Amino acid sequence: MSKKIITENLPFVIAEIGHNHQGSVEKAMEMIKQAKLCGASAVKLQKRSNKNLYTKEMYNSIYNSENSYAKTYGEHRDFLEFDKKQYFDLKKFSEELDIIFFSTPFDFESVEFLENINVPCYKIASADVTNTPLQEKIAETGKPIILSTGASSLDDVKRAHEVISKINENLYILHCTASYPANIEDMNLNCIKTLIKTFPNNIIGLSDHENGIDAASIAYMLGARIFEKHFTLNRSWKGTDQSFSLEPDGLRKLIRNLNRIPSMLGSNTKKILENEKAPIKKMAKSIVAAKEIDKDTIIKLEHLAFKSPGGGLRPYFRDQVLGKKLKSKKNKDDLINFEDIE
């Protein structure tokens, strides 16, 4: 994989599978396949070494939730993890489909795990914007890094940027609202412009937790070029992230809309396009005789009408026609052109 993972103008869309696969490799593979069919650039999982990540108390805490896969929170998290062979299989499957496969490591051991399967890039979660040691560990891999910035101040992002960039300049920064789902009034998409101004040498994007597809297109217009969106095959499935994830039809529409934007923006030169000429000729107005007009008549406003089609003089020539003498008789609706007057 090259150092740069996206171009500057085309949208790069990450289908965030996370743990929506419910611990099933078969479901994960189907999600990867569907993400590719939708046009996604990449798919992403999450990797945790749970006993090293959580305190003993948190790992062993009772997890009473409709989304729980085990009695304790740690065991629930373990249920959703894939081992090295499963990761290798998923990476190989993705490569065969020509879609980028990577993951978010939440701890040192997970970085080492992902290095062993040679993921092409890394994501740093919003929860680790202040985790300088993990940032340094990931930066030392030398691979592209995508940093989410939910629940952080601009100073937090600046600190993370400085820490990572000292080691690895290949950093992409995503605006994010770390609530699930994010209320539209909390999206603060204008922060994208702040990030672009603050970090002019980094490509900026959006990690989107809004329950819909509108935010991505707005973010593109503000300058975002990377888009991460949670993805599932069925929003009614068990899991904390399923309800605000996009199903294939939603992801397909999001990517379709993003891909249309560069073409729709087009040129900033205002001109008449070739494919506008026929319809405008039909709909535009020409200067015509409002009634029968005799030869040698001095043309007054009462003699003129402005009617379609638009093959004759446009109405803005009206004042250049008024007061002139008509060279020949005109019937009602006849065109009046410059060669008809003197």
**Residue 241 and residue 18 in contact, taking contact as beta carbons nearer than 8 Å:** yes
Q: Is 161 in the same domain as 259? A: yes
- Checking if the pLDDT of 214 tops 90, the result is yes
Integer Cα distance of 279 and 285 in angstroms: 12
Pick 3 or 21 by higher pLDDT. Answer: 21
Do 135 and 280 reside in the same domain of the chain?
A: no
In a domain, 2, yes or no: no
Residues 71 and 136 in one domain: yes
The DSSP secondary-structure symbol of 334 reads -
What is the C-alpha separation between 328 and 342, in angstroms, rounded? 11
Determine, yes or no, domain membership for 5. Answer: no
Higher-scoring residue by pLDDT: 132, 262: 132
How does pLDDT run across 28-47, given as a tens digit for each residue?
999 999 999 999 999 999 99
CATH number at residue 317: 3.90.1210.10
Query: Are residues 323 and 299 part of one domain?
Result: yes
Say whether pTM exceeds 0.75.
yes
Per-residue pLDDT reduced to its tens digit, 112-149? 999 999 999 999 999 999 999 999 999 999 999 999 99
326 & 239 share domain: no
Q: What is the mean pLDDT of residues 294-320?
A: 97
* One domain for residues 119 and 234: yes
Q: Which residues of 35-58 are buried (b: 16+ CB within 10 A; e: fewer)?
A: bbebbbbbbbbbbbbbeebbeeee
Q: Which domain holds residue 320?
A: 274-340
Cβ proximity of 210 and 178 under 8 Å:
no
Tokens standing for residue 85: 């062979």
C-alpha 298/C-alpha 295 separation (Å) is 9
Evaluate whether residue 41 is within a structural domain: yes
Q: How would residue 165 be classed by pLDDT, with cut points 50, 70 and 90?
A: very high
Identify whether 300 is part of a domain. Answer: yes
CATH of the domain at 242: 3.20.20.70
| CB-CB contact of 110 with 47 (8 Å) | yes
Bridge partners (DSSP) of residue 333 are: none
Mean pLDDT of 292-297: 97
Omega prior to 105 cis, within 30 of 0: no
Query: CA 228, CA 11: separation in Å to the nearest integer?
Result: 11
Residue 32 half-sphere exposure, CB side, CA atoms within 13 Å? Answer: 25
Of the listed ranges 2-6, 188-192, 208-212, 299-303, the least confidently predicted one is 2-6
204: nearest Cα among 176, 223, 178, 228? 223
Note whether 172 and 295 are same-domain residues: no
Q: What is the pLDDT of residues 232-252, one digit of tens each?
A: 999 999 999 999 999 999 999
Separation CA 246–CA 43 (nearest Å)? 13
Cα gap 238→240, rounded to integer Å: 7
Of 222, 237, 265, the last residue of a domain is: 265
Task: Please indicate, yes or no, if residue 146 is contained in any of the structural domains.
Answer: yes
Of the residues 265, 297, 322, which one is the last residue of a structural domain?
265
Same domain, 133 and 258: yes
Domain boundary, last residue among 242, 265, 288: 265
How far is the C-alpha of 223 from the C-alpha of 267, rounded, in Å?
Answer: 17
pLDDT at 2 over 60: no
Q: What is the pLDDT of residue 1?
A: 36
Give pLDDT, residue 4. Answer: 58
Amino acid letter, 68: S
- Look at the chain and report how many structural domains it folds into: 2
Task: Write the CB contacts of 217 (distance below 8 Å, at least 6 apart in sequence).
Answer: 257, 258, 261
Rounded Cα–Cα distance for residues 146 and 48 (Å): 17
Q: 123-132 b/e with 16+ CB inside 10 Å = b?
A: bbbbebbebe
CA distances from 269 to 6, 265, 273 (A): 27, 11, 11
CA distances from 228 to 27, 58, 66, 179, 341 (A): 20, 29, 26, 14, 66
> Are 179 and 150 within one domain?
yes
Residue written as tokens 């090259």?
Answer: 2
Q: Does the structure show a pLDDT above 70 at 7? A: no
Residue 148 counted as domain residue: yes
Q: For residues 74 and 245, give the distance between their C-alpha atoms in angstroms, rounded to a whole number.
A: 24
| Same domain, residue pair 104 and 244 | yes
pLDDT for residue 74: 96
Does one domain contain both 113 and 38?
Answer: yes
Provide the total of helices (H) and of strands (E) in the chain, helices listed first: 13, 10
**Residue 252 identity (one-letter amino acid):** R
Summary mean pLDDT of the chain: 96
Other C-beta atoms lying within 10 Å of the C-beta of residue 154 = 12
- Whether the predicted pLDDT of 9 surpasses 80: no
Using CA atoms, how far apart are residues 48 and 128, in angstroms rounded to an integer?
Answer: 13
Q: Is residue 186, in this structure, part of any structural domain at all?
A: yes
323 and 284 housed in the same domain: yes
Residue 3, pLDDT > 90, answer no
pLDDT at 252: 98
Amino acid, res. 93: F
Query: What pLDDT is attached to residue 118?
Result: 97
Tokens (6 digits) for 60: 């062993």
pLDDT value of position 10: 74
Residue 87 lies in a domain: yes
